[in-house]
Amino acid sequence: EKNVKLLDKMTMLQQQNEELRARIEKNTVITRQLSEENANLQEYVEKEMEEKKKLSKTKEELLWKLQEEDATSPVKLQSSSSTFYGCSSRNSSPVKVRTLRQ
């Protein structure tokens, strides 16, 4: 009778062991997939950050060229002008800009 109980307990523990091994294998597969996805996302974020830096630099260069053109070109003052809203070069808050028509 004691041997039967021990055999039953051993069988139950072996089943639990197999279930745990299956769970570990499943978790290992999921961990690999998530690690791969994480690496891909990190690469994507780095590329996006580089693109943002390039765009920001291009924006700054264009704003500088625009300011240089405005400073060197003669402006004829007329009563008609147009107004548009843009972003300042130092922050992303809107700035009201008036352009004079020549």
Task: Provide DSSP, the chain.
Answer: -HHHHHHHHHHHHHHHHHHHHHHHHHHHHHHHHHHHHHHHHHHHHHHHHHHHHHHHHHHHHHHHHHHHHHHHS-----S-EEEEEEE-SSSSSEEEEEEE--
Model pTM greater than 0.85? no
20-31: per-residue pLDDT in tens? 999 999 999 999
- Residue 65 CA to residue 71 CA, distance in Å, equals 10
48-100 pLDDT tens trace: 999 999 999 999 999 999 999 888 876 554 544 455 455 544 444 454 444 44
Percent of the chain with pLDDT over 70: 72
